[in-house]
Amino acid sequence: AIAAAAAAFPAWASRPAVERSNILGKFHDLMLAGIEPLARAIVSENGKPIREARAEVQYAAEFVRWSAEEARRVYGETIPAATAGKRHLVLKQPVGVVGAITPWNFPAAMITRKVAPALAAGCPVVIKPAEQTPLTALDLALLAEKAGVPAGVLNVVTGTPEAVGGEILASPLVRKLTFTGSTEVGKLLMRGAAATVKKISLELGGQAPFIVFADADLARAVDGCVTNKFRNAGQTCICANRIYVQRPVYARFLADLARRVEALVVGPGIDEATQVGPIIDAAGLAKIDAHVQDARKHGARVLCGGRPLRRRWYAPTVLADVPPGCLILREETFGPVAPVVPFDSEDEVVRLANDTPYGLAAYFYTSDASRLFRVMEALQYGIVGANDPSPGVPQAPFGGMKESGIGREGGKYGLEEYVEVKHVSVMV
């Protein structure tokens, strides 16, 4: 697959940008035309509710459409020279073969968020999808081929991370590595990519704080918390993992949140009524329960849930009065558990929110315009939702600070990850 991508690179890179754009546009249209079979493939592989799976296909297709439009706008520039008779040109050229390693939790969107800008820039791609979700990747590759993506330009290789990832890291033909997954694996990939000095972009783990100030619209904050925390059964890298509520509204927020969470419908993803689907595997389920039991042992109160259900499901859970030092406040839980902690002051909660090696996403709710600017600037996170539980959109950059990653996906910044900048100095 790597050799095929390398062989296809010169022709794809030299193809006029408008042609690449048109092919991606057809890819987008085919995805939307096939939304139902794609959504059902997602449900069959990772179990998320069918309504969320349909929304994911639409979201994934939007990355393709955005990149189709951006393909026409990979602009260079001319720099004024300090010497008569000289001209300085800046060119942007495709980096080369891209190795993309993608996760199971968004098996369509995490592929198109990487593949679409790479193809738009003129780079062929070798995708290594998660072992749990290979069929979605293969379905997307077939649609891309149908849209006119030439042979060798988009390749899918299924298999173990060690075997496939090892080849991607070792090959000097692969000039760019892009990965979404855990921080631990991201660090291993960074070390491996260093051997051939590959360009890398990494979207890694998070420990997202969700802050509710006393002046917030409480109903809106509760609604945003449920939307953010329980999407995909909490198995997202940007869902709230620590919920901080200012003390004057703490009791009311807890009561409203517990009532909403207790009413969530748990069931098979294929059922239209399901709001919370299964956990991806037994290891994930065990980690969630370990976090809950650790919090209980340290004095947290369980307001609802707090237990595994049949097979791979976990009851949507709200924990109150979670003390510092608990696992759930330090590690990414990746499950439908909302740990809630009271706080007193703005300075205190900003310190608590930033007290982590992670920096992917953060959220806060306030009606104070001055506070909105102070807090959004103080939070050490790559993505901040201010009164917004769903900040991720194709036209904006997505990525983390600190140990949550390197580089950005989405928006005009996403395509920049797949080009090299070349300076040409000309004597005339």
Active site residues: 203, 237
CB 152 within 8 A of CB 3: no
Q: What is the DSSP string of 242-259?
A: EEEEEHHHHHHHHHHHHH
C-alpha distances in angstroms, 71 versus 74, 154, 218, 363? 6, 17, 42, 32
Rounded (to 5) percent helix, strand, coil in the chain = 45, 20, 35
Task: Look up residue 404 and give its amino acid.
Answer: S
What is the β-pairing status of strands 240-246 and 337-343? parallel
CA angle 403–408–414, rounded 5-degree value: 165
Dihedral sign (CA 113, 140, 26, 393): negative
Q: How far is CA 306 from CA 167, 252, 320, 337, in A?
A: 42, 20, 12, 8
Cβ atoms of 386 and 367 closer than 8 Å: no
* Residue at 101: amino acid letter: I
CA torsion, ordered 402, 408, 413, 417, to nearest 10 deg: 110
Judge contact between 167 and 2, C-beta under 8 A: yes
Phi, psi dihedral angles at 207 (to 5 degrees):
-145, 65
Q: CA-CA distance, 179 to 192, in Å (whole number)?
A: 13
Helix (H, G, I), strand (E, B) or coil at 62: helix
DSSP state of 271: S
CA distances from 165 to 137, 159, 196, 281 (A): 16, 9, 14, 22
Distance CA 141, CA 128 (A): 12
